[in-house]
Amino acid sequence: MTTTSGSKLKHAVIGVGAGVFNMHRPALALATTEVVGVCDINSEAGQQRAKELGCPFYTDHRAMLSETKPDIAVILTPHPSHAPIAIDCLRAGAHVLVEKPIAVHAAEADAIIEAATAAGRVVAVNFQHRNRADVRTARKLIQQGALGRLQHVAMTAAWPRTARYFKAVPWRGTWLGEGGGVLMNQAPHQLDILCHLFDLPARVLAWTRTALHDIEAEDTVLAMMEWPSGMLGSFHVSTAEVGCAERLEIVGTGGSLQFAKDGALTYERLETDFRTFMAESDNPFGQPAKQAEAVELEAGSGDHVAIYQNLHEAILNGAPLVCDGLEGRKSLELANAMILSSYTGSTIPLPLDRQKYAVLLEGLKAKSMVAR
């Protein structure tokens, strides 16, 4: 495959009948995009999308890959199928853009990454929230040391869902169909933000619960984390609660940073780093003066178009990916560790023990099959 700057890249979409397709649609109109085929096991929905896009329709992704020879394969199928389909696409010579999460089990992500390396192709994971102005700005402030030594991070998110949500698509919230619940469906973006800002923690202790929903997997999770630097963190997410869609607070010896509902950032700088103040102050109950400072947001947009533009630049001009396979694996590995911690009642060190998690997951799938 050879491409040059200014070229159109041939795209093939697998799982084109998925609801998330409409979020990808604007990117398929980019000047660098040509849709050469779409695929779905739902012929009616797939043929309709093919008609809208003016391209051939397939029910078999392998046949589509063979006949259309795309530069990029976009994978929108349920995540248990991500790994085998991605590997098929890479072996067929296509670069891959896969929806979050990259797979169900970190070992599957390992296999995707290995296949990409062997094929000399790139894998991009659609974690578009990395491009949000607030996330980009927070990352810059952290890297610049604006918060001093990082001490604590707290992330919470509520994504309320009703019974109808799960009944409408029976594979949701099942071990066979999703490989988990809220951690595999609603929470990946929040987990990815944590990993993007701070990398993977060194260990995690978590509790998963099915609090309200009549589903197999978890609808609520609470986790405590420790990073190699000694920073501590908490994470709470649920589809069985009504609350803030996302709340993130970061505390360091130099100040604190809070994500606001409107996409703004609230930054309070300590006039003296607390390490210095603590050592030198004569007041046993004192604390440094705080100064609220305006934060100029970096340019950024958390939409799918930016992910496609970045992938095209990576392929055509060698630009670094916003989220490649290695980065996309981190949030999945953290989700796996939380599930393993809850079911074993133990603190889980990272990197994740793939074999231990595989045994747990296969056991949960087996129980799911018996129940059905």
Tens digits of per-residue pLDDT, 118-168? Answer: 999 999 999 999 999 999 999 999 999 999 999 999 999 999 999 999 999
Nearest to 206 by CA among 40, 338, 22, 354: 338
Q: Kindly report the pTM of this predicted structure.
A: 0.95
pLDDT of residue 368: 77
> Which SS3 state, helix, strand or coil, does residue 100 take?
coil
Distances (CA, A) of 259 to 18, 139, 153, 196, 263: 31, 12, 12, 15, 7
pLDDT of residue 369: 65
Measured CA to CA, the distance from residue 179 to residue 352 in angstroms comes to 16
β partners of residue 144:
none
Measured CA to CA, the distance from residue 41 to residue 109 in angstroms comes to 24
97 and 33 Cβ atoms separated by less than 8 Å? no
pLDDT of residue 370: 61
Terminal Cα distance for the chain, rounded: 46
The reply to whether omega before 351 is within 30° of 0 (cis) is yes
Parse the chain into domains and list their residue ranges.
9-129+303-322, 132-300+331-371
Low-confidence residues in the chain, pLDDT < 70: 1-6, 369-372
pLDDT of residue 68: 98
Measured CA to CA, the distance from residue 365 to residue 372 in angstroms comes to 11
pLDDT of residue 5: 41
If you classify domain 132-300+331-371 with CATH, what class do you get? Answer: alpha beta
Measured CA to CA, the distance from residue 38 to residue 16 in angstroms comes to 6
Tokens read off for 341? 């911690």
Strand-pair category, 9-14 with 72-75: parallel
| DSSP result, 185-206 | TTSHHHHHHHHHHH---SEEEE
Q: Which residues contact 258 (CB under 8 A, 6 or more apart)?
A: 247, 248, 249, 250, 265, 266
Nearest to 253 by CA among 284, 225, 231, 223: 231
Handedness of CA 318, 322, 327, 329 (dihedral sign): negative
Q: What is the pLDDT of residues 201-256, one digit of tens each?
A: 999 999 999 999 999 999 999 999 999 999 999 999 999 999 888 999 999 999 99
112 and 85 Cβ atoms separated by less than 8 Å? no
Tokens read off for 328? 């996309």
β partners of residue 234:
154, 224
pLDDT of residue 372: 58
Measured CA to CA, the distance from residue 283 to residue 140 in angstroms comes to 34
pLDDT of residue 2: 40
Fold of 9-129+303-322: Rossmann fold (3.40.50)
Measured CA to CA, the distance from residue 327 to residue 199 in angstroms comes to 9
73 and 14 Cβ atoms separated by less than 8 Å? yes
